[in-house]
Amino acid sequence: MAKFSVSWCFSLLQIFGFLAIGSSAREEIGIYELKQGNLSVKLTNYGAHIISLVVPDKHGKLADVVLGYDTIKEYKNDSSSFGATVGRVGNRISGAQFTLNGTLYKLIANDGKNTLHGGPKGFSKVVWTVKKYRPEGQTPHVVFAYHSFDGEQGFPGDLRAIVVYKLLGDNKMSITMKAKALNKATPVNIINHAYWNLGGHDSGDILSEEIQIFGSHYTPVDAQLIPTGKVVTVKGTPYDFLRPRTVGRMFSKLAAGYDINYALDGSDEQKLKKAAIVHDKKSGRVMEISTNQPGVQFYTSNTLYQKGKGGFTYKPHAALCLETQGFPDSVNNPNFPSQIVNPGESYKHYMLFKFSNL
């Protein structure tokens, strides 16, 4: 009887995510498809990745508009974070360290001397537990959960995280990321890293796509792409997308392309605000992104050269990323919005994607 009780309690701990390492290590890797009308998305619990997202163009022709791979093995070897959920802290942390409540935390550097997307084995490189899965119906959705242990990649405290992908009708998809600090204060900035090409993942570059970004300020960076700590206006710079214009219009004034964080207009994190609108004129596809986060990273896949789905080779500027987020290196810039979650507190990152045609 005692043996049965111990086993039963152990199983409950696994189900509810209280085992930091074991539950993730033993979870099977699968692919989960959500379908509603003409919109379908495929996901995997390996790194909580978006594998594909298929939507119609203005003629009703369907195409997959996110870059990715054909096999899970390729995602395991991926260094581009195609469609990944990155964390515990997405984007860069300077010097791979930060001080919190008087304690210096040293992380694992994986981007020169800095930490990028949570370290070499961040949230995109672990197996998430599948808590719920409803492939069709009124609100198709899947819930992935992960228990990040104290000291994982150098970050303090146990953190319980979930990611919910949900289809909402009218070609809309939401992504909700939640986390709760269990025993220590910790920074949290969980980000979706999808690479978008509204012409189709294999249609070429995105330089002619039109984009509008609802941020009148941005955070300048140094040569290592670490923010300087300043927040400056976009007016009179190549970063001004307050009105729609093509992605490549100002490329001649940039070193390689865009890789910059915008401070979104509207400071209330409890309210949803527009982050960006992208329009591919050839296909007619439009994507509108809204979020509750203060920033969005605009990245034009400047150094990309990777064989992807169907053997197609993705080259520089084959896609754009619009990663809604807290500001990069916030832990080392006290004037940036805080990403610190104290024990018992919760973190929430909400994204809404609306797809349409013009």
323 assigned to active site: yes
Residues 198/280, Cβ–Cβ less than 8 Å: yes
Of the candidates 338, 334, 329, 335, which has an alpha carbon nearest to the alpha carbon of residue 92? 329
Residues 156/150, Cβ–Cβ less than 8 Å: yes
288 assigned to active site: no
> Which residues have a Cβ under 8 Å from the Cβ of 143 and sit 6 or more positions away?
130, 131, 132, 133, 162, 163, 164
Residues 113/98, Cβ–Cβ less than 8 Å: no
Query: Tokens for 231?
Result: 């927040």
16 burial type by CB count under 10 A (0-12 exposed, 13-18 middle, 19+ buried): middle
How many degrees, rounded to 5, is the angle at CA 292 between CA 289 and CA 294? 95
Of the candidates 151, 183, 190, which has an alpha carbon nearest to the alpha carbon of residue 342? 183
**Catalytic: which of 201, 317, 323, 349?**
323
Distance CA 199, CA 204 (A): 8
**Catalytic: which of 49, 193, 279, 349?**
193
Catalytic residue IDs: 193, 323
